[in-house]
Structure 1
Amino acid sequence: MADQIIFTAEDLTRMLIDLPTCNQTIGDQARARQNSLTKPQGSLGHLEELAIWLASWQGRDAPSVADAYCLVFAGNHGIAAKGVSAYPAEVTAQMVMNFEQGGAAINQLCRVSGAVLKVVALELDRPTDDLSQGPAMTAEDCARALQVGRDAVPETADILLLGEMGIGNSTSAAALSAACFGGAVKDWTGPGTGLDQSGLDYKINLIEQAMSCHDNMLTSPFEILRRLGGRELAAIAGAVICARERGIPVILDGYICTAAAAVLTTGATAALDHCQVAHLSREPGHRVLSEILGKRPILDLDMRLGEASGAAVALMVLQAAVAVHNGMATFAEAGVSEHD
């Protein structure tokens, strides 16, 4: 972790104003190539758009996902002590150990997809404060977590997969979404790890308390993150900004990861243009959030595990998109007649 804290509220606001854009010229060239390949135009559907998106953000004629890195950030939440999850808070540290020993779903999915997995645990012995009663983090805690996310991004990555682990963090995700985009808390809140209806109603009530508690103080992306988020969620936001600065496309896992990143759009509507949503989570708020962001999830497999599992599966779809974009012959190269 860097000793210097650079993510004050003002610094985060400035970074969001100065975000780089994609290389539109390369994007146009990639689209022209897609239209010249030996297939009817548009016949590979979303695979074509994904290849064009990759090329434009990497600034390469031939996009690549060969150097794929998967970052899973882990953090503990004070709100978990109030029973908002079907699992106890100690499961966060236990699952981090499982990741490190190679026994989790994400280990197997990274192995088959070829992504390099890195797990970053953020002060698991010191949960955030209870967001329903006050700010989850101090300004310093939030700033340090943002910096952890920034520091974790490898400079050599072709693509970055982001995920999380943290008992109670679906409560934070719902609160962040409601703070950023409004609407009824119940529409953003789901069962998480498996709450029954009584538990879900209790969870909704706690989030409504949080919204009342913070009310007019949710004035910037930084304040939204520190009041309603968690260390691992702030780290995701920091990684997203760093990836944008380096021209690295990002795959966001599911609801919790998308909600953490979506906070940045309150400071810049185009903040997630370099990001794709990996899959449509079973958490009901994720469909609403994806639609608001204008992000079409790459997959819809009824997943809700987290830990970047959906992002690792989506990487394999991107590998297919890159293979056909770079490897197919054009009509001219193959000597195939084009449609008039």
Structure 2
Amino acid sequence: MTGNPASPLDDVQDLILNQPVVDLPRDFNPDGSVRMSKYGRLDRLGEWMAACQRSDKPKLENSTLALFAGAHGLAKYGVSVSRDDATQARVKALQEGKMVSNGLAAQSNATLRVFELALEVPTKDISTEPAMSEQECASTIAFGMEAVAENPDCLAIGVLGVGGGTAAAAVACALYGGDAQYWVRAGQGVPEEVNLARAGVLYRALQTHRGHLNDPLRCLQRLGGRELAACVGAIIAARHQGIPVILDGFATAVAAGVVHAIHPRAIDHVIAGQATDRPAHQAILERMDLEPLLDLKLQLGEGMGGLLALPLIQAACTVANASG
């Protein structure tokens, strides 16, 4: 994969390529007719939960929101409207139970876990060198697998970190091609000079790493952040443990895109919690054939998309168990 048979990323790829099968709900009846249900998408959602959990009956009694916080060397280029210390401040507020995500987690009886990923040591400046070494990337992926340590019935994932959206955009641009300006635009309310700074970082980064972006994990290692790598690890581990995963916003979709690019069926256990107002987010979801559960035009992540989707998934489980 990487040209180095001893690369630790080879082991990650093996985990993605050798995952348990998820027997997804079928769109058609044995006679070829389209399946119909009076419960519509709720019915299919409950079936999907059961398939992911490798169970006849889906359940949602114990859910976890894993929030991965990372720091980025590219943040020095003015790619965010947030202050440099915003990540640490948000982590502290989450740990003290002062964020909206804390309230939503309590409302859904979900456990909120914050994973700090070496916030005092930002990833390298991707415009001049790889964000992480192969070993660091693989180790962070392994660390992300800790998100399922408590064996929840369902795992929602989210990220936070100044500059994280630009790093995610760089990975997306490397995976899918297209213009850097398209991938960095985060919706309304972002000053044009910030969008231009983001695009400039992407142009320089793609030039620097040209010829080394020949596989998805290398794209992640060279251009992504630790929070993206941790999300990849969480997605992989959840599949092996029979745990459905709910994505949040753009960055978590990019993490799923890395796994999907290696093997499309490797994200059969993943669903999109929300659609944001970022066009590139919707584009990635369409590439992965993921239809978001909610479209509330949220402009922030921090796991809110997954948390807001949990009551809907709970309802789907109730419908499935009552009608099964």
Q: Normalising by the residue count of structure 2, what TM-score does the alignment of the two structures yield?
A: 0.91
Partner of 2:62: 67
How many angstroms does 1:192 deviate by? 6.9
Deviations 1:74-93 (A, max 9, x none): 01011111110011221111
Query: What SS does structure 1 have at the residue aligned with 2:128?
Result: coil
For 2:193 and 2:90, the matched residues in 1 are separated by 26
| Residue 283 of structure 1, CA deviation | 1.7
Query: Which secondary structure does the structure 2 equivalent of 1:43 belong to?
Result: coil
Corresponding position: 1:272 with 2:267: yes
Shift of 1:157: 1.1
Shift of 1:155: 4.6
The Cα of 1:282 is off from its aligned counterpart by 1.6
Cα RMSD for the two superposed structures: 2.0
Shift of 1:152: 2.7
Looking at structure 2, the residues matched to 259 and 156 of structure 1 have their Cα atoms a distance apart, in angstroms, of 24
SS at match of 1:300: strand
Paired position in structure 2 for 1:217: 212
1:7 touches 1:144 (CA, 8 Å); kept in 2? Answer: no
Alignment correspondent of 1:337: none
Following superposition of structure 1 onto structure 2, how do residues 302-317 of structure 1 map, counting pairs within 5 Å?
A: 302-317=297-312
Contact between 1:70 and 1:160, CA under 8 Å: does it hold in 2?
Answer: yes
Matched with 1:158 is: 153
Distance 1:21 1:194 in 2: 42
8 Å contact 1:64–1:322 — kept in the other structure? Answer: yes
> Which residue is equivalent to 1:13?
13
1:194 shift after superposition: 4.5
Shift of 1:318: 0.3
Matched, 1:79 2:74: yes
Contact (CA 8 Å) 1:13, 1:221: kept in 2 or not? no
Match of 1:169 in 2: 164
Paired residues of 2:70 and 2:116 also in contact (CA < 8 A): yes
Return the offset for 1:229: 0.7
In the alignment, structure 1 residue 182 sits paired with structure 2 residue 177? yes
The runs of 5 or more residues in structure 2 that have no matched partner are 1-5
**Does 1:191 find its partner at 2:186?**
yes
Partner AA of 2:126 in structure 1 = L
Q: Distance in 2 between matches of 1:23 and 1:267?
A: 19
Q: Secondary structure of 2:267's match?
A: coil
The answer to whether the 8 Å contact 2:7/2:134 transfers is no
Letter in 1 for 2:137: C
Q: Secondary structure at the match of 1:216?
A: coil
The equivalences for 1:5-154 within 5 A come to 8-23=8-23, 27=25, 41-154=36-149
Letter in 1 for 2:204: Q
Please say if residues 159 and 301 of structure 2, whose CA atoms lie closer than 8 Å, have aligned partners that are also in contact: yes
Letter in structure 1 aligned against 2:120: D
Give the letter aligned to residue 50 of structure 1: L
Structure 1 residue 56, shift from structure 2 partner: 1.0
Contact 2:123 2:226 in 1 (8 A): yes
CA distance in 1, matches of 2:211, 2:270: 29
Alpha-carbon deviation of 1:269? 1.8
Amino acid at match of 1:322: C
Q: Give the residue type in structure 2 aligned to 1:104.
A: M
Structure 1 stretches of at least 4 aligned residues deviating more than 4 Å after TM superposition = none
1:234 paired residue among 229, 232, 247: 229
Residue identity opposite 1:243 in structure 2: A
Task: Give the deviation of 1:57 after TM superposition.
Answer: 1.2
Contact 1:280/1:287 (CA < 8 Å) preserved in 2? yes
Q: Following the alignment from structure 1 to structure 2, what is the Cα–Cα distance between the partners of residues 121 and 193?
A: 29
Q: The residue matched to 1:251 in structure 2 has which SS?
A: strand
Post-superposition Cα deviations, 1:184-224, rounded to whole Å, max 9, x if no partner, equal 22222223794212221221122121111112101223211
Contact map agreement 2:168 2:225 (CA 8 A) in 1: no
Does 2:250 match 1:252?
no
Partner of 2:200: 205
Are 1:8 and 1:222, in contact at CA under 8 Å, matched by a contact in 2? no
Kindly, what percent of the aligned residue pairs are identical? 35
Describe the SS at the equivalent of 2:10: helix
Instruction: Give the Cα–Cα distance (whole angstroms) in 1 for the partners of residues 101 and 265 of structure 2.
Output: 29
Contact 1:69 1:117 in 2 (8 A): yes
Q: Specify the alignment match of 2:3 in structure 1.
A: none
SS in structure 2 opposite 1:127?
A: coil
2:289 is equivalent to residue 294 of structure 1: yes
Matched letter for residue 304 of structure 1: Q
